[in-house]
Amino acid sequence: MRRRPVPAALLLPFALLLTACGGNSFAGTGNDTDGKGSVTLNVGDQKGGSEAILRAAGELKDLHYKIKWSAFTSGPPLLEAVNAGAVDIGGVGNTPPVFAAGAGSKISVVAAWHGTSKGDAILVPNNSKLTGPGQLKGRSVAVAQGSSAHYQLIASLKAAGLSLSDVHVKYLQPADALAAFTSGKVDAWAVWDPYTSQILQAKQGRVLTTGDGITNGLTFQVAAPAALKDPKKTAVIKDYLARLRRAQVWVHSHRQEWAKVWAKDTGLPYDVALASVKRTNATRVAVAVDKPLVASEQQIADTFTELKLIPDKVDFGGFVDTRFNGDLPPSTTPATS
- 267 and 285 together in one domain: yes
**Structure confidence at residue 224 as a pLDDT band (50, 70, 90):** very high
Structural domain contains residue 157? yes
Please check whether residue 101 is in contact with residue 48, taking contact to mean a CB–CB distance below 8 angstroms.
no
Mean pLDDT confidence for 247-274: 92
- 27 and 162 together in one domain: no
Q: Could you tell me the pTM of the whole model?
A: 0.85
pLDDT number for residue 73: 63
Please check whether residue 44 is in contact with residue 82, taking contact to mean a CB–CB distance below 8 angstroms.
yes
The CATH number covering residue 163 comes to: 3.40.190.10
Number of domains in the chain: 2
**Structure confidence at residue 289 as a pLDDT band (50, 70, 90):** very high
**Structure confidence at residue 229 as a pLDDT band (50, 70, 90):** very high
pLDDT number for residue 193: 85
- 22 and 103 together in one domain: yes
- 104 and 227 together in one domain: yes
pLDDT number for residue 19: 39
Structural domain contains residue 310? yes
pLDDT number for residue 20: 37
89 pLDDT exceeds 50? Answer: yes
- 24 and 109 together in one domain: yes
Q: Which segments within 52-151 are labelled E, that is strand?
A: 66-72, 89-92, 108-114, 121-124, 140-143
Using a pLDDT cut of 70, give the percent of the chain over it.
89
Boundary-marking domain end, from 149, 178, 210 = 210
Q: Which segments within the chain are labelled E, that is strand?
A: 27-33, 40-45, 66-72, 89-92, 108-114, 121-124, 140-143, 168-171, 188-191, 206-210, 218-223, 285-287
Mean pLDDT confidence for 103-127: 95
- 111 and 126 together in one domain: no
- 241 and 147 together in one domain: no
Boundary-marking domain end, from 143, 175, 210 = 210
Question: Domain containing 134: what range?
Answer: 8-15+118-210
pLDDT digits (tens, 9 = 90+) for 192-220: 888 899 999 999 999 999 998 889 999 99
2 pLDDT exceeds 70? Answer: no
pLDDT digits (tens, 9 = 90+) for 9-68: 444 343 344 433 444 444 444 567 666 788 999 999 987 789 989 999 999 999 999 999
Boundary-marking domain end, from 210, 240, 275 = 210
Mean pLDDT, rounded, of the chain = 88
If one compares 157 and 267, the residue with the highest pLDDT of the two is: 157
Structural domain contains residue 329? no
- 246 and 97 together in one domain: yes
